Structure 1
Amino acid sequence: MMVLTACALLLSAVLGWKLYVLKQDIYRFAKRLEESLDDILSGKEPKRDWEDEDSLWGMVCEKLRRVNHVWQRKEEESLSEKNKMKELISDISHQTKTPAANLKLCMEILQDEPMSDRAEEFLKSMESQIGKLDFLIQGMVKISRLETGVIRIRDHETDLRATIGRAVAAVVPRAEQKQIRLYVECDREIRVRHDGKWTEEAIFNLLDNAVKYTERGGSIRIETVVQEIFTQIRIRDTGKGIAPERQAEIFTRFYREPEVHEQEGVGIGLYLARKIVELQKGYIEVKSEVGEGAEFRICLLNERIEIPPRL
């Protein structure tokens, strides 16, 4: 009996020791793995212990090194592609500016020359098409620069009211031509982290869209609403409205509703506005019914919180 008890105690001690050793091995493995992943995240090569080359850790470490090499190669390829795209965009922008400017100059010269009514009609049509082409090229260059990271959003805490004011001022002439009333409700300074230049572009695109699809004599109201997490810029018009089934499509590139093809535009304004807002960790939403106008809401974070990556 005593022998059995002694054997049981010895077996228990051996198992306990093996369990302890196993736990220590697991802790060391986990620590090494964490250190190696930290090295990869910081752009360093994972440390390699040559004495453990044939162990489980040696095999895992070798796999991690291979993964790191693949990531580095992909990153280098991505950077190379971005640089090529940057050069291409720059070339397109440069090469198209001169022909467009020359066409505009020729148009101005021709407008001062005597011509028939039919020639004047064609001249006006050409002027309109040249304007559309110039607008399209500028819009495509902006989109490409944002999508490829050539232009980066540089946000800092600044007065949102000033940004809204600049966007509204830019759309006033077109609104006056259609006798559309603009109302702005932003009586106090609201400081929000945002890129003033690009946020102004997004707000202007929404306002320009509202003016375009609001009938003569209508109205557009701009107001700000400060919430706990987001600050909203609401743009509400008295235009034709948007059918619910189309509201998800209007933010896609080059989308235009079938019944508004007589209106000027190429369908990139809303896409560009959403892209700008999303790059600032915000979002745009729309609420509308056919015949009852539309309300677009730009939602910007009140405070940007950077969360470090964790495994």
Structure 2
Amino acid sequence: MLRNREIGRFVLLFVFLATAGTAIVCTISPAAGAVAGGMAAVLLLTALLFTRWRYREISRLSEYLQGICAGQDSLDIRDSAEGELSILKSDIYKMALMLTEKTQLLTKDKRYLAEALSDISHQLKTPLTSMMVMTDLLSERTLTPEKRMEFTDNIRTQLERIEWLVTSLLKLSKIDAGAIEFKEQHVQVKDLINRMIFTMSIPVELREIELKTNVPEDVYLVCDLHWTAEALINIFKNCVEHSRPGGHIGVDAVENPIYTQIRIWDDGEGIDKEDLPHIFERFYRGKNASDESVGIGLAMARSIFVSQHGNVQVKSQPGLGTCFTIRMYKQVI
């Protein structure tokens, strides 16, 4: 403490003033001068003890910050006392807590990025390997025209799958990063449903699926028409892919002062209980997923709805079917 120049200067100044004052008082009364000198010594000792206590508290703060830098995020220096030093402790604790939370989020994002890159590389590896094999086969001169055409079609199919995967990943990344500005359009829900059904009309017809719709004309939704339609198509596609030939898919919509609700349900194979909590996670493939499934569609749909102050829930029973419920809230508090 005494190595501090400010403290040294304070002590020297205090001793000089106390000595000068005591000398002046002694010229008037030696007894009064002795008392004044004693009081000056007591005041100096009290100031030094108080300064020493403050230095100890500051040293504790320094050790606390060093512990935080070393990764000890469970330390707590807050106290219930009043004063500038206590306020400083609380502010440092809040700052350390905020930095710890940011560090945890960065670590989580880093882990998520590593997992995402691993999943993406896995999804791209299969079609790329297949195309490399077929490209080698195409170079053989003895290959028949029929086989050459078959391999060419397979390569085209794999390229289309890669293009769809990359496009979907870019869309999902933009949504998660908040880089997409969703428009607030007053959209008729029936128009959205018609777009959804038209896009999937061929798979529905091939599977001979019967559609049941109950969407009143006066049900509206404030949303981005393009992105919301894409999210609904992804959910509807999931229902179509897991419906039996000749099965049924239903779509209905209702509106109230709080939210607009859209339900899409099927009587297909349903979702296993173990898969149900994870179906909106990207790259997750359930037990009943097809070989062509990547696990992006439902994750993208959920991100689109959440970004527009909505949510999507799912209920399902194996062998009985699945029901997706989308709610878009009109006001968010």
TM-score, normalisation: structure 1: 0.60
Contact 1:193 1:304 in 2 (8 A): no
The code of the aligned residue for 2:249 comes to: I
- Given candidates 151, 155, 161, the residue that maps to 1:122 is 151
Residue 127 of structure 2 corresponds to which residue in structure 1? Answer: none
- Given candidates 217, 237, 241, the residue that maps to 1:212 is 241
- Given candidates 295, 300, 313, the residue that maps to 1:272 is 300
* Percent identity over paired residues: 30
Residue 11 of structure 2 corresponds to which residue in structure 1? Answer: none
Query: Aligned-pair RMSD on alpha carbons?
Result: 3.6
The code of the aligned residue for 1:167 comes to: M
- Give me the whole-angstrom Cα distance separating, in 2, the residues matched to 1:259 and 1:118: 32
The code of the aligned residue for 1:174 comes to: P
The code of the aligned residue for 2:155 comes to: M
The code of the aligned residue for 1:143 comes to: L
- Give me the whole-angstrom Cα distance separating, in 1, the residues matched to 2:89 and 2:186: 46
- Give me the whole-angstrom Cα distance separating, in 1, the residues matched to 2:234 and 2:288: 20
Residue 285 of structure 1 corresponds to which residue in structure 2? Answer: 313
The code of the aligned residue for 2:266 comes to: D
* CA displacement at 1:154 relative to structure 2: 2.6
The more displaced of 172-181 and 143-152 is 172-181
The code of the aligned residue for 1:183 comes to: K
Residue 173 of structure 2 corresponds to which residue in structure 1? Answer: 144
Q: Which residues of 2 match residues 44-83 of structure 1 at below 5 A?
A: 56=83
Residue 296 of structure 1 corresponds to which residue in structure 2? Answer: 324
Q: Classify 1:228/1:243 alpha carbon distance in 2 versus 1 (closer, same or farther; 3 Å).
A: farther
The code of the aligned residue for 2:331 comes to: R
- Give me the whole-angstrom Cα distance separating, in 2, the residues matched to 1:169 and 1:215: 20
- Give me the whole-angstrom Cα distance separating, in 1, the residues matched to 2:191 and 2:88: 54
Q: Deviations over 1:209-244 (max 9, x none)?
A: 111121222221111123452321111112211112
Q: Deviations over 1:69-126 (max 9, x none)?
A: xx9xx9xxx9xxxxxxxxxxxxxxxxxxxxxxxx9xxxxxx9xxx9533223322322
- Given candidates 202, 213, 228, the residue that maps to 1:184 is 213
Please tell me whether residue 170 in structure 1 is matched to residue 199 in structure 2. Answer: yes
Contiguous gaps of at least 5 residues in structure 1:
1-54, 79-102, 104-109, 307-311
The code of the aligned residue for 2:263 comes to: R
Q: Which residues of 2 match residues 209-248 of structure 1 at below 5 A?
A: 209-248=238-277
- Give me the whole-angstrom Cα distance separating, in 2, the residues matched to 1:182 and 1:115: 44
- Give me the whole-angstrom Cα distance separating, in 1, the residues matched to 2:165 and 2:215: 32
Q: Deviations over 1:114-154 (max 9, x none)?
A: 95332233223222211211110110010011111111223
Residue 257 of structure 1 corresponds to which residue in structure 2? Answer: 286
> Which is higher, the Rg of structure 1 or of structure 2?
2
- Give me the whole-angstrom Cα distance separating, in 2, the residues matched to 1:193 and 1:57: 51
3-state SS of paired residue (2:274): helix
Q: Classify 1:59/1:277 alpha carbon distance in 2 versus 1 (closer, same or farther; 3 Å).
A: same
TM-score, normalisation: structure 2: 0.56
- Given candidates 212, 230, 248, the residue that maps to 1:201 is 230
Contact 2:189 2:215 in 1 (8 A): no
Contact 1:242 1:294 in 2 (8 A): yes
- Give me the whole-angstrom Cα distance separating, in 1, the residues matched to 2:233 and 2:300: 11
Residue 39 of structure 1 corresponds to which residue in structure 2? Answer: none
Contact 1:154 1:195 in 2 (8 A): yes
Residue 18 of structure 1 corresponds to which residue in structure 2? Answer: none
Contiguous gaps of at least 5 residues in structure 2:
1-81, 107-130, 132-137
The code of the aligned residue for 1:212 comes to: E
- Give me the whole-angstrom Cα distance separating, in 1, the residues matched to 2:91 and 2:223: 39
Q: Deviations over 1:30-80 (max 9, x none)?
A: xxxxxxxxxxxxxxxxxxxxxxxxx95799599979x99xx9xx9xxx9xx
Residue 30 of structure 1 corresponds to which residue in structure 2? Answer: none
Q: Classify 1:175/1:258 alpha carbon distance in 2 versus 1 (closer, same or farther; 3 Å).
A: same
